[in-house]
Structure 1
């Protein structure tokens, strides 16, 4: 659930903005970049950004709603290594949540167009679990399989942070429209258990990326939001192995923590090794940090933590 699309002024990182930081990418040994948004396919020259980064041997992933994928299939096929599309449910649920008639059909056409150009390209799916789709998790997996997606993932909706263009966070009224109430959490738990039982093969094969424990954490997240249990931070080392660069150049240690610099003001490698960044990482206790405890989008890589 993202409000970045509501930003009216054009803010985007251009190839000329990024080029001075290629030396930083080399110094940091960057191996992967995920282009997300908002909607990255609205970028005026995403392909050039992609080619610039791929020239450094970096693997590129596009995270998209998929509605513009058919139109931009040639650019995506030539510049990206793999794609993740948002899938909110079976067709009728997905279309309702997106507010676009035949939205899932448009995603399907985009995937077909992309694979006509790059038959072997990997296209994955991701579902954000929320009030309007939590009863349809099993049918969402079947829809993903029908679209020919290579894998599928679930995460809980973030309703409390000020990330993704939500200064001050959502109001209580906005949260209620997305989060689950106590009765619905009980229904979600039953749906998750049914998903684990009926999609055992998909879980064991890795088609569903989460194991049963991680799937059940989605229930825990909504229970914590209701105050039914303590919020528990996921295992995460994102600030030590990754960074987020926003469309205005702001650099964050992850999506949810405050910016630590801006690439318009200095090299990325200097920002990530600045006194402010080093102090942030040195003092961050993921398990006890309140922002981390509410995180729905953690990252853990088996890399040695430095600084």
Structure 2
């Protein structure tokens, strides 16, 4: 199967998010980062890919972001590109969006804006006074592109013990302050956060808000229109939400993870992994990608994932859901009931 690619383009970041799982890379010494030559080698080895997700750090801090991605965009021709940002750099974000679309205009480009609560909570979680207002500025700068149908704007809220009790206010602010957004995704905090006192959200709190979340999502008409595909997406989102909440309470019904064959992750230093939460299988500085994928370490990592590795990481759970026969049957039934 064609792989999806997650590429961490930098560990540099001007936010200090309490919930960040990548903070050791961000706070540590800044090491040599990927070059255009690296992405050219990667693109040549990978060929066509399904989807491209960009990570960091703060991706738009790389002044050469678009040239860095160009080989992957031209040769991989991903059907979708996801560019997340903390929203502190409106002009850079717009420039990156336009640059990506100039290279691959037919891709579905989503700009994912972090939105972790109402203003005071958002700023506290991200460690930057005024971050919420700057995120609104970034949204407003991108809004004309979204309204023209050129890009999608997605809000991403990472839920944890710090902001879980402000979920109602978070949903309300999402609608009032980010009107051009096409969707709001709720992500469960994962990994070990910078602030060790933070915990994953309380599943009991999420249970209380499930119907409000479902109703909130239905308000995004572009995402949840009336067709069968939209209803299937809605059913899948609700199922993944329920599976994630169950996982938090210790009930693991997640479909088997197939990240070892569906995805590839490359870090800003060239480390290659099937998932950024697992150990790397090699580095581009040491070998070519085909040799890394054929290595004994790759086989060990794949076996580890096959043996029952599971989590709530939303870069992988939708793919896992859509490749599980039982979940597909359930999804079809839920979609039919929605008509």
Q: Is the 8 A contact 2:273 2:282 kept in 1?
A: yes
Cα gap change, 1:271/1:95 in structure 2, threshold over 3 Å: closer, same or farther?
A: same
Query: Which residue in 2 is equivalent to 1:16?
Result: 37
User: Matches of 1:87 and 1:114 in 2, distance apart?
Assistant: 15
Query: Which residue in 2 is equivalent to 1:35?
Result: 54
SS at match of 1:18: helix
Q: Is the 8 A contact 2:165 2:205 kept in 1?
A: yes
Cα gap change, 1:121/1:209 in structure 2, threshold over 3 Å: closer, same or farther?
A: farther
Cα gap change, 1:30/1:293 in structure 2, threshold over 3 Å: closer, same or farther?
A: closer
Matched, 1:215 2:241: yes
Q: Is the 8 A contact 1:243 1:254 kept in 2?
A: yes
Cα gap change, 1:299/1:12 in structure 2, threshold over 3 Å: closer, same or farther?
A: farther
Query: Which residue in 2 is equivalent to 1:296?
Result: 313
SS at match of 1:293: coil
Pick the aligned partner of 1:157 from 179, 185, 189: 189
SS at match of 1:100: coil
User: Matches of 1:216 and 1:126 in 2, distance apart?
Assistant: 18
Q: Is the 8 A contact 2:188 2:200 kept in 1?
A: no
- Structure 1 residues 1-307: aligned runs within 5 Å: 1-2=19-20, 3=23, 4-26=25-47, 29-56=48-75, 57-58=77-78, 59-79=80-100, 81-116=109-144, 119=148, 120-146=150-176, 147=178, 148-158=180-190, 161=191, 169=192, 174-180=195-201, 184-196=202-214, 200-202=218-220, 205=225, 211-224=237-250, 230-281=251-302, 283-284=303-304, 286=306, 289=308, 292-297=309-314, 298-301=316-319
User: Matches of 1:188 and 1:94 in 2, distance apart?
Assistant: 19
Cα gap change, 1:279/1:222 in structure 2, threshold over 3 Å: closer, same or farther?
A: closer
1:65-111 deviations in Å (ceiling 9; x for gaps): 12123344223321253311211122232122112222122112112
Which structure's relative contact order is higher, taking Cα pairs within 8 Å and 6+ residues apart? Answer: 2
- Over aligned residues, Cα RMSD in angstroms? 3.0
1:46-79 deviations in Å (ceiling 9; x for gaps): 1211323222223432122121233442233212
Deviation at 1:15, TM superposition (A): 0.8
Q: Is the 8 A contact 2:53 2:81 kept in 1?
A: yes
Query: Which residue in 2 is equivalent to 1:164?
Result: none
1:105-161 deviations in Å (ceiling 9; x for gaps): 211211222345674211112111101211233432333333121112112111xx4
Deviation at 1:275, TM superposition (A): 3.6
Query: Which residue in 2 is equivalent to 1:166?
Result: none
* Count of aligned residue pairs for this structure pair: 279
User: Matches of 2:238 and 2:51 in 1, distance apart?
Assistant: 27
User: Matches of 2:274 and 2:57 in 1, distance apart?
Assistant: 19
Q: Is the 8 A contact 2:118 2:169 kept in 1?
A: yes
TM-score by structure 2 length?
Answer: 0.71
